[in-house]
Amino acid sequence: MLSPSLRIKDTLSGGLVEFRAPGRMRMYVCGLTVYDYVHIGHARTLLVFDVLYRLIEAKGFDVKYVQNFTDVDDKIIMRARELGIEPSQLAETFMEEALRDFQLLNLKRPTVMPRATQHVGDMQRIISALVEGGYAYVTPSGVYYRVSRFPEYGKLSKKKPEQLLAGARIEPDPHKLDPADFALWKIYGDGPLWESPWGRGRPGWHIECSTMIHAHLGETIEIHGGGADLIFPHHENEIAQSEAYTGKPLSKVWMHVGLLNMRKEKMAKSLGNVIRIRDAISWWGPNTLRLYLLSSHYRNPLEFSLEGLKKAHENWRIIESAAHELLENPPTSSSEVDGAIDEFDEALSNDLNTPSAIAALVKLSRFIGRLAASHELTGSSTGVAKAFATMFDIMGFKLLEPGPEEVQKVERLVEMRTMLRREGRFDEADAVREKLRDMGYEITDYPDRSSWRKVERPDWSRTF
């Protein structure tokens, strides 16, 4: 049903790189620094790679997906001090909270989710090799990577080192030989510290990801991803240290997701303009949020807007209705199905074009709705159901599922409404329908029965 081919645009070369199943697909995505709750700016990047992960599995690739947690960082230490707790306790708390949010978003769990603190010894071994090779040097304050030793520095961001320094956040240190040099190991007097050949301290941010890639995926991987804000300095520095260490390309494709902006500024905790994932889901629903954040091509920035969310919800209602119809009625087949799945596959296979893939799913959902309205959603073939399920699952949607107690309550109300209608007490029956609607349920009446569905009912009263 799906083609074996996948083409992704590489930030480094600027061209499309093709992969074919059932080949290997080793994918690494830079994860969260866990000092606060996850926000919907993070969610956009997480969702893009969630769809890619689902797609490459569905196409038959041999997949290993690694997404890390940065659990030692100055931001974690500063926040822990403010709260009067240990940095490890803060990191543990927010890792657990992040995993809860991932479940709310219906993110498929990566193959491995390593923590930086699990690989400090590995980091030290790589740093030692870089020092021995002349790519790094030791100072009284730590170990720095010598940027001038790597002639290709700047190849990812397409800028020379002096251009990269303009406006960049530079680590001030009188011991550095060059302002562009970056820390591999920093010596500190307090905070979480590890013994090392260069003094008690902790690793720099950039060496963490290079080390976890090497430990879990090898020297060269197929896809390395993250937000567009990581191109420089994080990914640029990863390339420099990793390729100096192994002598091989770090990744065949560098894939970057455009930022989610709020009032034309990057959504960031430091700017105080964030919306937490759990709040967004409670206000608008997980599928509406997912569809909205995937409604623009991943490489383009996305400006947050309630209008965009409302449009996403309209499309979700069409998809949601089709999903329920297929659950409640035996499916049929049609030539419409092959066309929809081909459009869907073609869209995602060409640089993960999620807007076009969503359009193909909405098109098939409308077709299912027409079949249901004309009572034609019957037959022996399951072509429609299989095609819809494939598209629905790859996009990561999931119908809302009420708990057992909620099911009992709803079924009692539905039975009450059915009884009231039989007795001709239609005003009272309508009142029960409204009560169910307020609870997030819709009732569909058929000639011989009534069915109920739990649906997303966004709260549009929120303003930003």
pLDDT digits (tens, 9 = 90+) for 227-281: 999 999 999 999 999 999 999 999 999 999 999 998 888 887 777 789 999 999 9
- Distance separating alpha carbons of residues 4 and 27, to the nearest angstrom: 17
- Distance separating alpha carbons of residues 329 and 3, to the nearest angstrom: 29
Distance of CA 402 to the CA centre of its chain: 25
Q: At residue 215, what is the residue type?
A: A
What pLDDT was estimated at residue 25? 98
Same domain as 157, residue 77: yes
Is position 289 within any domain?
A: no
pLDDT digits (tens, 9 = 90+) for 283-309: 999 999 999 999 999 999 999 999 999
At which residue do the structure tokens 């969260």 appear? 32
Is position 307 within any domain?
A: no
The CATH number assigned to the domain holding 185 equals 3.40.50.620
pTM: 0.94
Q: What is the number of domains present in the chain? A: 3
Report, as an integer, the average pLDDT of 18-28.
Answer: 98
Looking at 399, 419, 436, which one is the last position of a domain?
399
Q: Which residues pair with 185 in a beta bridge?
A: 143, 203
Same domain as 172, residue 241: yes
The CATH number assigned to the domain holding 389 equals 1.20.120.640
Is the previous residue joined to 179 through a cis bond, with omega within 30 degrees of 0? no
Is position 306 within any domain?
A: no
Is position 433 within any domain?
A: yes
Burial 189-200 (b: 16+ CB within 10 A, else e): eebbeeebebbe
- Distance separating alpha carbons of residues 119 and 116, to the nearest angstrom: 6
Is position 436 within any domain?
A: yes
pLDDT digits (tens, 9 = 90+) for 162-212: 676 654 556 678 889 999 999 999 999 888 999 999 999 999 999 999 999
- pLDDT above 80 (res 28): yes
pLDDT digits (tens, 9 = 90+) for 69-84: 999 999 999 999 999 9
Looking at 269, 295, 327, which one is the last position of a domain?
269
Q: At residue 367, what is the residue type?
A: F
Same domain as 243, residue 103: yes
Report the run of H or E that residue 360 belongs to, with start and end: helix 354-373
